[in-house]
């Protein structure tokens, strides 16, 4: 469990294509003294923070100074799992690469770079009062607890069905890190029609067919899909800028509600304390 602000110990790079743009993108990770994680695009700084989040339809996008970066959630989850609080990411395209559809390669890059610890604290956000947001039958709520504990429920057509998973020791939940993004086969055409998922393939997403998983090697875990929703939630929650301590329960949540939960938490200083 980290206690203080940290950054990466040395520079590293990762390249790959964007899921929605299909374009090759290069990332360069630099140590940062200042608190927080931020992207740098063409000289403009875009903090990876909940109040910079705009579009949340298929991924979490942040924007500032007229520049925007999308699909930041898996990278943010990797920062959470690595315990990194401060970092600059130079990016030369509009979307973080999808890689294998999980946070695994980002996490590996950070692990190899190593962690440098600063003396400053202030990395935890402790939830002091219950906060809940909902939209139709989807909801996400958080209650006070001295650690991060997540319960996620998803409900899709067969063969996925209803899946529930609870993770009590989130910081060490390694099966979450390499669980891949997924899509229902019938949704692919609609997503492509609006010009998205151009870079999507069986190499970077689990495709759920009408009766079975379409990927030749199937799933990495029996609960890979609900695991991935937890990964998305962890990444989105880390745009708070802090490691949240609380009991989080979610039903069919997505990027929009995850962001709304943070806005609700921060709307009242009595909801939380930072230490």
Complex with Zn ion: residue 181 or 240, whichever CB lies closer: 181
Looking at residues 141 to 200 of the shown chain, list those that interact with Zn ion (rule: CB under 5 A). Answer: 181
* Closer to Zn ion by Cβ: residue 123 or 230: 230
**Distances from the Cα of 32 to the Cα of 48, 84, 85, 167, 206, angstroms:** 14, 10, 9, 31, 35
DSSP 119: S
Q: Give catalytic residue positions.
A: 255
Q: Smallest gap, in angstroms, from Cβ of residue 130 to Zn ion?
A: 26
Phi, psi of 89 (to 5 degrees): -120, 110
Q: Which stretch binds Zn ion (CB under 5 A): 81-89, 172-180, 194-202, 229-237?
A: 229-237
Min dist. Cβ of residue 71 to Zn ion (A): 8
Rounded Cα distance between 155 and 50, Å, is 26
SS3 100: coil
Q: For Zn ion, which residue of 232, 249, 258, 272 counts as binding (CB under 5 A)?
A: 232
Span interacting with Zn ion, options 61-69, 104-112, 232-240, 247-255, rule CB under 5 A = 232-240
Closest distance of CB 124 from Zn ion, Å: 24
Nearest distance, CB of residue 26 and Zn ion, angstroms: 21
Q: How far apart are CA 161 and CA 157, in angstroms?
A: 5
Q: Which stretch binds Zn ion (CB under 5 A): 88-96, 104-112, 125-133, 230-238?
A: 230-238
Q: How far apart are CA 64 and CA 91, in angstroms?
A: 14
The sign of the CA dihedral 40, 41, 47, 50 is negative
Chain residues in the site for Zn ion (CB under 5 A):
181, 232
């Amino acid at each position: 469990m980290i206690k203080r602000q940290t950054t990466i110990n040395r520079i590293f790079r990762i390249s790959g294509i964007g899921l929605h743009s299909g374009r090759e993108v290069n990332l360069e990770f630099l140590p940062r003294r200042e608190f927080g994680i931020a992207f740098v695009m063409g000289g403009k700084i875009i903090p990876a923070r909940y109040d910079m989040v705009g579009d949340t339809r298929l991924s979490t996008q942040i924007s500032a100074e007229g520049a925007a970066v999308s699909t930041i959630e898996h990278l943010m989850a990797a920062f959470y799992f690595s315990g990194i609080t401060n970092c600059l990411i130079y990016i030369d395209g509009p979307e973080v690469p999808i890689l294998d559809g999980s946070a695994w390669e980002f996490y590996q890059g950070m692990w190899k770079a190593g962690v440098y610890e600063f003396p400053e604290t202030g990395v935890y956000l402790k939830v002091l009062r219950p906060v809940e947001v909902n939209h139709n039958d989807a909801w996400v709520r958080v209650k006070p607890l001295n650690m991060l504990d997540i319960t996620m429920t998803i409900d899709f057509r067969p063969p996925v069905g209803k899946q529930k998973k609870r993770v009590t020791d989130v910081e060490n939940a390694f099966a979450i890190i390499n669980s891949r993004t997924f899509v229902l086969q019938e949704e692919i055409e609609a997503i492509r029609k609006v010009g998205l998922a151009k870079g999507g393939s069986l190499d970077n997403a689990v495709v759920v067919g009408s009766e079975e998983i379409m990927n030749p090697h199937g799933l990495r875990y029996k609960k890979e899909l609900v695991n991935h929703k937890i990964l998305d939630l962890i990444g989105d929650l880390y745009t708070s800028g802090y490691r949240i301590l609380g009991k989080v329960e979610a039903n069919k949540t997505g990027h929009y509600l995850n962001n709304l939960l943070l806005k609700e938490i921060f709307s009242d200083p009595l909801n939380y304390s930072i230490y």
